[in-house]
Structure 1
Amino acid sequence: MGKYRLLALDLDGTLLNDRSEISATNLEWVKRAVDAGVTVCVSTGRGFQSALPIAEQMNLDTPMITVNGGEIWTKPHSIHRRTLLDSGIVMRLHALAEKHDVWFWAYSTQDIYNKERWIGDTITTHWLKFGYYTENLTVLNEILQEIQTWDGLELTNSSPFNIEINPIGVSKASALEEVCRMLGYDMSEVVAIGDSLNDIAAIRAVGLGVAMGNAQEEVKAAADVVTGSNQENGVAAAIQKYVLRT
């Protein structure tokens, strides 16, 4: 076992290529890390249902972080902790999306909803995360400026064209701290790899923060090192060079 005991992997734009696939090379090096005794933890903005098949493809039975830390799983299907987003806030976020006529989505504990399929009963639903998407950056910035004035929210993104909203204090970093507490690891023993603003807190908080070659510039600036892009097996290269030091 080397210096690092836990590898936290973002999915979209990081482990997955632009076709949302794990390359054979990435899969091989994840398996090598697991075989070497490293705990590999999925750490994603996705909900559990869409993250699970990827964890299963890697044969992981380890903790998972979903919806940016809104859910922490001791292992697949075994929930450890959920942090809910206030239903009243979700109603306000939804109204803002309608006002600006942008695409939006929201995760509840049961399902995912969006502009094409919204829910009638917002108040009694248990919400986890809300997001906006538009390639009109002027409109996106107007939305961001508005919700930055609201209290109690954690604002990030998973692409330059979206905004993701969780309750204040919820992040991949805080979730990784809890995973480390569960496993008896120190944050200095963690490597976190990612590409977007929802990865920055974790990248700054762990022993080694790795930005993808395709990462947003702010993420690269926050990272200790930059690896190849998600089209160039950047995760495999980082595992090889920093985690296993082969």
Structure 2
Amino acid sequence: MNKNNWVFAFDLDGTLLQRNNKANKYTLDVLKKSKESGNINIVATGRGVAKTLPLLESKAIDHMDYLVCSNGTVIYDVKNQKSITLNSLDKNVFDIMKNIAQEKNLIIAIDTNSVNATSLPNNKLPEWLNDVDIMDMNILNLMSLDELSTLVLHPDTKLTQIAFRNPLKDAINNTELVRTLISNYPSEVYLTNSIYTDVNPKNTSKYNAVKYILDLLNKTNENLISFGDSGNDLELIKNSKIGIAMGNATNDAKSIAKHIISDHNSDTIGKFIQKVLDNKINLD
């Protein structure tokens, strides 16, 4: 395939971003080269737009054409600085998850069409968070649960994602509890990076949003190369011409990937893309 026909899609946390919350320098250099050759670069993340744009502004990530945020609920066009909200959640889902968060002492965060916000249990960091966890937290717009509720209930608010930060030992059970309790509402539930419960509108996924972009560009899955590491990347990896799992990926991501590369804290993505640009990757 011609080198300027590729669409590259990257998960952020555990994939494109290293532990320092920045992309590898060599990888960024290769992304620049790829974009200048006419290829398209897309971020596909569970983070909301307000938590992703600062990474572009600080050059922690760069050379991106689109940001797929909130697990595919929102698409941000970098060049035109415009967002498209593809779907929204029933606000009753927030009430159910708010009650679970209170009962289980969880951190709850919401993404909306206007703001991202987080509420801590009893307005303080829970004791189950260790020092490393605290450093990794990406908290934006701290609010009380009452303030969060007021924001959600505003008639102009479109709720695009609700997420829990769970203790590792409880994450699977809490995710299944959410899946059960909101089953009457059209939604998608993901366990992400082993600790987050992400809830998005029905038929919303990173892949569906990337497919939306592919259609805009008159391209297909045959043009798509994706990189991921977790449960919310599975559909994207599976439907790509070349789906790649990181070395630190979950077993389910590795099991469906065409290639498994090194872990995210390295230049492995840049090296793989360079091989694609040099036509040194088997496409069959």
| Same topology, TM > 0.5 | yes
1:60 aligns with 2:90: no
Distance 2:21 2:96 in 1: 32
1:185 aligns with 2:219: yes
Distance 1:14 1:103 in 2: 23
Deviation at 1:160, TM superposition (A): 0.6
Query: Match for 2:189 among 150, 155, 180?
Result: 155
1:102 aligns with 2:136: no
SS of the residue corresponding to residue 3 of structure 2 reads coil
1:29–1:240 contact (8 Å) kept in structure 2:
yes
Deviation at 1:243, TM superposition (A): 4.8
2:5–2:38 contact (8 Å) kept in structure 1:
no
After TM superposition, the structure 1 = structure 2 runs for residues 123-138 of structure 1, keeping only pairs within 5 Å, are 123-124=153-154, 125-137=157-169
Moved over 6 A (4+): none
1:240 aligns with 2:243: no
- Relative to structure 1, the CA distance from residue 61 to residue 228 in structure 2 (aligned partners, 3 Å threshold; closer, same or farther) is closer
Larger Rg: 2
The superposition leaves residues 139-173 of structure 1 with CA deviations (integer Å, 9 ceiling, x where unpaired) of: 32332222222132211133111211111110011
Number of residue pairs matched? Answer: 245
SS of the residue corresponding to residue 194 of structure 2 reads coil
2:28–2:62 contact (8 Å) kept in structure 1:
no
The equivalent residue for 2:128 is: none
TM-score (norm 2): 0.80
1:155–1:164 contact (8 Å) kept in structure 2:
yes
Deviation at 1:61, TM superposition (A): 5.9
1:72–1:80 contact (8 Å) kept in structure 2:
yes
Distance 1:59 1:102 in 2: 33
The equivalent residue for 1:6 is: 7
1:46 aligns with 2:80: no
2:227–2:237 contact (8 Å) kept in structure 1:
yes
2:224–2:241 contact (8 Å) kept in structure 1:
yes
- Relative to structure 1, the CA distance from residue 108 to residue 24 in structure 2 (aligned partners, 3 Å threshold; closer, same or farther) is same
After TM superposition, the structure 1 = structure 2 runs for residues 161-240 of structure 1, keeping only pairs within 5 Å, are 161-240=195-274
SS of the residue corresponding to residue 193 of structure 1 reads strand
Q: Percent identity?
A: 21
2:166–2:197 contact (8 Å) kept in structure 1:
no
Deviation at 1:4, TM superposition (A): 4.8
Distance 1:42 1:21 in 2: 13
Distance 1:188 1:41 in 2: 16
2:28–2:63 contact (8 Å) kept in structure 1:
no
Q: RMSD value over aligned CA atoms?
A: 1.9
Which shifted more, 6-15 or 108-117? 108-117
SS of the residue corresponding to residue 203 of structure 1 reads helix
Distance 1:142 1:210 in 2: 28
Which shifted more, 214-223 or 145-154? 145-154
> AA paired with 1:224?
K
- Relative to structure 1, the CA distance from residue 243 to residue 216 in structure 2 (aligned partners, 3 Å threshold; closer, same or farther) is farther
Distance 1:54 1:36 in 2: 23
Deviation at 1:120, TM superposition (A): 3.7
The equivalent residue for 2:124 is: none
1:187–1:206 contact (8 Å) kept in structure 2:
yes
For structure 2, the 5+ residue unaligned runs are 121-142
For structure 1, the 5+ residue unaligned runs are none
- Relative to structure 1, the CA distance from residue 128 to residue 174 in structure 2 (aligned partners, 3 Å threshold; closer, same or farther) is same
- Relative to structure 1, the CA distance from residue 3 to residue 223 in structure 2 (aligned partners, 3 Å threshold; closer, same or farther) is farther
